[in-house]
Amino acid sequence: MSSATDTSTGAVNEGRAGARPDTRTTRPRVLSLVQPTADSLHLGNYLGALRQWVPMQDDHDAFYGVADLHALTVEQDPKQLRQRTLRSAAQLIAAGIDPEKSTIFCQSHVPEHTQLAWILSCLTGFGQANRMTQFKDKAARGLGDQASVGLFTYPVLMAADILIYRADRVPVGEDQRQHLELTRDLAARFNHRYGRTFVVPEPHIVASVGRIADLADPVGKMSKSASSPAGIIELLDEPKINIKKIKSAVTDSDREIRFDVDQKPGVANLLTILSALSGTPVETLVESFAGKGYGDLKGAVADAVAETGGAFRERALGLIEERTELEAILAAGAERAREIASAVVAEVYDKVGLLPPAQGRSR
C-alpha cells in the first residue's frame, strides 16, 4: 500500500498568497472524531475507537475531536447538543486523550471543514454517495423521506474532516470502513485532477473489536441512536445499571461457551468484550470457561466492565464540571487545527480555480 506513508504531499504553501504553513511534524498524523449524539459514549465507541486513540497520541501528531456538525444530520435539541459536545470532550480526556499531546477540538470551531466539504461534494458521484450503507440504515430506521440531505452527504463531510489535516491514519470502528473508502477515493480523485494535494489515508481498524454488538440484539451494532436501552452500555451510567444489562444480555438456548459469530452472536460478543477488557485472547477465555455456564461468563464481563468503566466514569464526571477548562482546551485545539486547515483550504481553492478576494481594494 502506498498511502500510509504518503505524507509528503509536497508544496503545501504554494497556493494563494497568505496561506500559512502546514505545521506537520515528522510523525505521521492521526485523526478521529466522535459525535456528541448522547450524554454518554458507549462501550462500542470506547473499545472500537477511543482505546486505539490513546496509544497513538504517543507516536503520531494526533487530532481528536467532537463532530458536532455531524450530529446535526439528525434532529438535535440545541441546548442538549452544546452540553453533549462538552461532555464528549470530557470523555475523550477521561479515556486518556491528553491535551498536552493531542490537538482536541470541536468540528464547528474549524469552519474550513465545511468549505472543503463543498469542494469534495462536487467531486462525489451521486451514485457513489447513494451506495453508503450507513445512510440507508439510518434512513430506513424510521426517517424515510424525512432523512436530511446532510445525512446523505455525511460521508463527504467526514472525508473533509480527514483530508483537511492530511491524516495518514484514521482509527475507527468497522462501521466506518465504507466511509473511509470514499475518503480514499476522493483524495485520489482530487490528486489526479488537480495535482498531488491530499494524503490517501489508511483506516486503522482493530479487527477483534471493530464491531461491538448490541447486547439485546447481537446481530446489530451497539449504537447511540439504534440500540434499545437494554442493548447499550453507556459508560457514564451507574455501574449497577450496566451490570444488570450485561446479566440480561441475549445469548442462545445452547449452553456451550464458544466463539461463533454466526451461530452464537451474543456469546461471541460477550467473549469479545471480555477479551478486549482483560487482554486475554478469546481462545484462552473459551478454555477457561469449559464446563461453566453463561451466567459465569456474564459475571466476568460485568466485573471487567465495572472495573474499566468505574475509573472512566469517575474521571469523566469530574471533568464535565470543569467547563472553563474544557472550553480553553477546545479553543487551543481549534487554533492549532485552523492553522493547518486554513492553509489546505487556501491551496485547494487555488487549485480548483476560485478567484481569491483582492486585498485592500474594496470601494
By CB under 6 A, name the binding residues for ligand AQP: 32, 34-35, 37, 44-45, 48-49, 67, 172-173, 175-176, 210-212, 221-226
* Nearest to 337, CA basis, from 62, 52, 143: 62
Taking the least distance from each CB to ligand AQP, the nearer of 49 and 341 is 49
Neighbours of 356 (CB within 10 A): 12
Taking the least distance from each CB to ligand AQP, the nearer of 45 and 251 is 45
Q: How far is the CB of 76 from ligand AQP (least distance, A)?
A: 10
Q: Which residue has the cell 446489530?
A: 220
Taking the least distance from each CB to ligand AQP, the nearer of 15 and 36 is 36
Q: Is 247 a catalytic residue?
A: no
Of 224, 245, 264, 298, which is the active-site residue? 224
Q: How far is the CB of 237 from ligand AQP (least distance, A)?
A: 15
Q: How far is the CB of 355 from ligand AQP (least distance, A)?
A: 36
Taking the least distance from each CB to ligand AQP, the nearer of 227 and 251 is 227
| Edge-to-edge strand ranges of the sheet holding 61-66 | 102-106, 61-66, 29-34, 169-171, 202-204
Of 79, 221, 240, 247, which is the active-site residue? 221
Is the CB of residue 84 less than 8 Å from the CB of residue 38?
Answer: yes
Residues 23, 41: Cα–Cα separation, whole Å: 31
Q: Is 224 a catalytic residue?
A: yes
Residues 357, 222: Cα–Cα separation, whole Å: 47
Taking the least distance from each CB to ligand AQP, the nearer of 95 and 120 is 95
Residues 147, 126: Cα–Cα separation, whole Å: 16
Q: How far is the CB of 215 from ligand AQP (least distance, A)?
A: 11
Q: How far is the CB of 212 from ligand AQP (least distance, A)?
A: 4
Per DSSP, 140 falls in state I
Residues 282, 276: Cα–Cα separation, whole Å: 9
Q: How far is the CB of 45 from ligand AQP (least distance, A)?
A: 4
Of all residues in this chain, which one has the CB nearest to ligand AQP in the complex? 48
Residues 66, 55: Cα–Cα separation, whole Å: 19
Q: Which residue has the cell 480527514?
A: 162
Taking the least distance from each CB to ligand AQP, the nearer of 61 and 214 is 214
Handedness of CA 119, 25, 93, 230 (dihedral sign): positive
Of 79, 101, 138, 240, which is the active-site residue? 138
Per DSSP, 42 falls in state B
Phi, psi angles (nearest 5°) of residue 124: -95, 125
Neighbours of 55 (CB within 10 A): 11
Q: Is 138 a catalytic residue?
A: yes
3-state secondary structure of 105: strand
Catalytic sites, residue numbers: 138, 221, 224
